[in-house]
Amino acid sequence: MTRSSLQSDLDRYVDLYNRPSFIPVDPICIPHQFKKRQDIEIMGFWVAILAWGQRVTIINKARELVQLMGGSPHEFILHHREIDRRAFLDFKHRTFQATDTLYFLEFLQQYYRQHDSLEDAFARHLQPGDETIEAALRGFRELFFSLPDAPRRTEKHIATPARKSTCKRLNMFLRWMVRKDERGVDFGLWQRIQPAQLLMPLDVHVERVGRRLGLIQRKQRDWKTVLELTEKLRAFDPEDPVKYDFALFGMGVLEEKKKGNADRAFPFTN
């Protein structure tokens, strides 16, 4: 396949899967329930962190979180008291347990009482000329666990390039917050990070398709693999390489359909 034909195919799949009709069946539907910037950020961040496993389960757990926060995440984060956290003690999703939930509530409350947007928690770590969001991801994790007595067990839920992680969930969250086009799937709320700086959310399905198309040569699946794949995609669109997340995942969807795996029949779970 020539470079031009590959780009043509990728662009076609972007057009096919970057559509609002896929929102209701994917975890991104949770932040799309809100209009307030902070509500979108809070639920987008939390849903992205919880986004592993079946889509239906992820969506149901996210709805449970919204209910526990009285339907107004930002207001709850700002004004809840310690006693109000008791209702969250039974909230669990796979390895995300009560200890993790309580620390997330603590960090978000302290943060939003001092800042208007979660954007600063990432963008403050970038320097002029940074080509990617790597420094933002490193800095955010350090900030997130800067509170006294931050539980060690919770660290596994916030990835960092410093540990060679692909940072799939955080890259997905940043795509949601930064990318903006006429389709309205991604929110495009943040201005201090540019779409050109975003990096691919890499899961096993995107990786599989990327390797099949010759976009990934690295044998390992780690942070350098993310950089390699994103750099290859910049050749097709240097200003918005991560839009091809829709394409690679969409191609993976078709492969899953052929295998009869209905739960992988829509994008955004990567």
Q: Higher confidence at residue 89 or residue 269?
A: 89
Beta carbons of 242 and 234 less than 8 angstroms apart: no
- The answer, yes or no, to whether residue 231 has pLDDT greater than 50, is yes
Least confidently predicted of 18-32, 73-87, 120-134: 18-32
Q: Structural domain boundaries of the chain? A: 3-264
With a pLDDT cut of 70, the percent of the chain lying above it is 95
Residue 265: what pLDDT? 40
C-alpha distances in Å from residue 50, one per residue of 37, 58, 168, 193 = 20, 7, 12, 23
Residue 261: what pLDDT? 60
pLDDT band at 260, cuts 50/70/90?
A: low
Residue 252: what pLDDT? 86
- The answer, yes or no, to whether residue 266 has pLDDT greater than 70, is no
Q: For 49-71, how does the pLDDT look when each residue is reduced to its tens digit (9 = 90+)?
A: 999 888 899 999 999 999 999 99
Q: Higher confidence at residue 2 or residue 154?
A: 154
Beta carbons of 167 and 226 less than 8 angstroms apart: yes
Q: Burial code of 48-62, b = ≥16 C-beta within 10 A, e = fewer?
A: bbbbbeebeebbebb
Residue 269: what pLDDT? 34
The span from the CA of 258 to the CA of 265, in Å, is 10
Q: Burial code of 185-222, b = ≥16 C-beta within 10 A, e = fewer?
A: bbbebbeebebebbbbbbbebbbebbbebebbeeeebe
pLDDT band at 242, cuts 50/70/90?
A: very high
Residue 255: what pLDDT? 75
